[in-house]
Amino acid sequence: AACQGCPNQGLCAAGAAGPDPAEAAELRARLRAVRHTVLVLSGKGGVGKSTFSALLAHGLAADETKQVALLDIDICGPSIPKIMGLEGEQVHQSGSGWSPVYVEENLGVMSVGFLLSSPDDAVIWRGPKKNGLIKQFLRDVDWGEVDYLIVDTPPGTSDEHLSIVQYLSATHIDGAVIVTTPQEVSLQDVRKEINFCRKVKLPIIGVVENMSGFVCPKCKNESQIFPPTTGGAEKMCQNLNVSLLGKVPLDPQIGKSCDRGQSFLAEAPESPATLSYRNIIQRIQEYCEQQHFKEEKIM
């Protein structure tokens, strides 16, 4: 009775309704061949989660010996097909499940965007139907052997986020990367997301600060377009004892590359933003490899 009206009642009650044992076993089997799973979260919209997820996938897949999978669970606003240059692609079913759409031999993608007949179709689903599709993605997509599964999420802390954490509890999540921009209005939502991760015991790999300054291409003057009035992600990370993985400046080429479905890292290799992204990707890779090493040591 004391739970009525508590803002976290839903979380606790939802925990009780996680995947049933048979479903959990099914998910475990399907995800057994996934070595590392990284969730990309924010809480705030429009900070560059999908942009970052796509570049993380491209960055990790640059090593052709690694198999990378990118799962887009933003059902209302699936940006990943466009950003990965896969608009109009369809999903194929085979005996072993749904096939991801491959950008490269070692980089496969799945998104509700591939299931829509037209990109302008609004997917107006309430929570339970969204949860059902997320479960299906995890259960029925034939990812094969995967070194890195990257999961791009929608903004917010709701059905999709609870569901992905519950369903992935059948396997191992290395951690979450949380994306923000420098201003307090974003950080406010990001602190909630950090709060969410701690509640569901999801390790936080670290925070990425996007849109961190703009250098005028003509006179090289730097402007803080989204001013860090409260110290930006750096101060927040210090206060909350999480790692700041890096700061990425604005670069108009980023938006262009996303719209054209090209990898920004490949199109603008000299950009300061590319350098930042590459450093961040390396730190994430090192974090995941250390986890694996620790587990092997224990075993």
- Residues 124 to 183: which contact a second copy by CB under 8 A? 124-130, 154-159, 161-162, 181, 183
> In the structure encoding, which two tokens stand for residue 59, read together?
């960055």
CB of 41 to a second copy, least distance (A): 11
The 3 state secondary structure assigned to 100-166 is CEEEECCEEEEEHHHHCCCCCCCCCCCHHHHHHHHHHHHHHECCCCEEEEEEECCCCCCHHHHHHHH
- The correct pick among 23, 85, 97, 224 for binding a second copy (CB under 8 A) is 224
Residue type for 205, please?
A: I
| CB atoms inside a 10 Å sphere around CB 11 | 14
Q: Report the alpha-carbon angle 243-248-254, nearest 5.
A: 140
- The correct pick among 136, 223, 238, 279 for binding a second copy (CB under 8 A) is 223
H helix count then E strand count, the chain:
11, 12
Is residue 71 part of the contact set for a second copy (CB under 8 A)? no
- The correct pick among 72, 147, 152, 193 for binding a second copy (CB under 8 A) is 193
* Strands annotated E in 236-278: 244-247
Beta bridge partners of 223: 214
Is residue 43 part of the contact set for a second copy (CB under 8 A)? yes
Secondary structure class of 4 (helix, strand, coil)? coil
* Strands annotated E in 6-114: 34-41, 68-72, 92-94, 97-99, 101-104, 107-111
Residues 265-294 touching a second copy, rule: CB under 8 A, are: none
Count the site residues for a second copy by CB under 8 A. Answer: 71
Is residue 196 part of the contact set for a second copy (CB under 8 A)? yes
Contact, 154 vs 125, CB < 8 A? no
CB of 131 to a second copy, least distance (A): 8
Contact, 119 vs 87, CB < 8 A? yes
Q: Which stretch binds a second copy (CB under 8 A): 27-35, 63-71, 100-108, 223-231?
A: 223-231
CB of 100 to a second copy, least distance (A): 20
Comparison of 19 and 31: residue with beta carbon closer to a second copy: 19
- The correct pick among 30, 58, 82, 135 for binding a second copy (CB under 8 A) is 82
Residues 203-222 touching a second copy, rule: CB under 8 A, are: 214, 216-219, 221
Q: Which stretch binds a second copy (CB under 8 A): 44-52, 61-69, 167-175, 287-295?
A: 44-52
Residue type for 37, please?
A: T
Residue type for 194, please?
A: I
Residues 84-113, one symbol each (x = binds a second copy by CB under 8 A, - = not), give ------------------------------
Is residue 202 part of the contact set for a second copy (CB under 8 A)? no
Contact, 276 vs 246, CB < 8 A? yes
Is residue 259 part of the contact set for a second copy (CB under 8 A)? yes
- The correct pick among 30, 36, 41, 50 for binding a second copy (CB under 8 A) is 50
CB of 153 to a second copy, least distance (A): 11
DSSP letter, residue 45:
T
- Dihedrals φ, ψ of 16, to 5°? -70, -20
Is residue 1 part of the contact set for a second copy (CB under 8 A)? no
- The correct pick among 53, 79, 263, 285 for binding a second copy (CB under 8 A) is 79
